Amino acid sequence: MTLRIDQIDSAATFFQMKLATSNRTLTSTFDSFTEADIDYFTFNGSDLVDMDANDTAYIVFRQQGGTQQADIDPEARFSGFLAC
């Protein structure tokens, strides 16, 4: 998964990117990493998760603290495949 987040706020405490599936949620946490607001940043992640027929998976982005100005860019990507 790849998320391009626009308008990153420097006052945020941390950011989280979650892969939420029917069976479990996997979370990556990133500390605030900039001293000034930046136009965009790309978060990347990959996981191998156990899923069954009719299960769902979705991506959640969370910002803790600061001004809630961040937007997920439409260029966000998610892909999956069946690993046997």
SS3 5: strand
Residue owning tokens 């892909």: 79
pLDDT digits (tens, 9 = 90+) for 9-60: 888 889 999 999 998 999 999 887 777 888 888 888 888 898 888 999 999 9
* Prediction pTM value: 0.74
Domain ranges across the chain: 2-48+55-72
pLDDT digits (tens, 9 = 90+) for 40-54: 888 888 888 988 889
Q: Quick one: which of 62, 58, 72 has its CA closest to 25?
A: 58
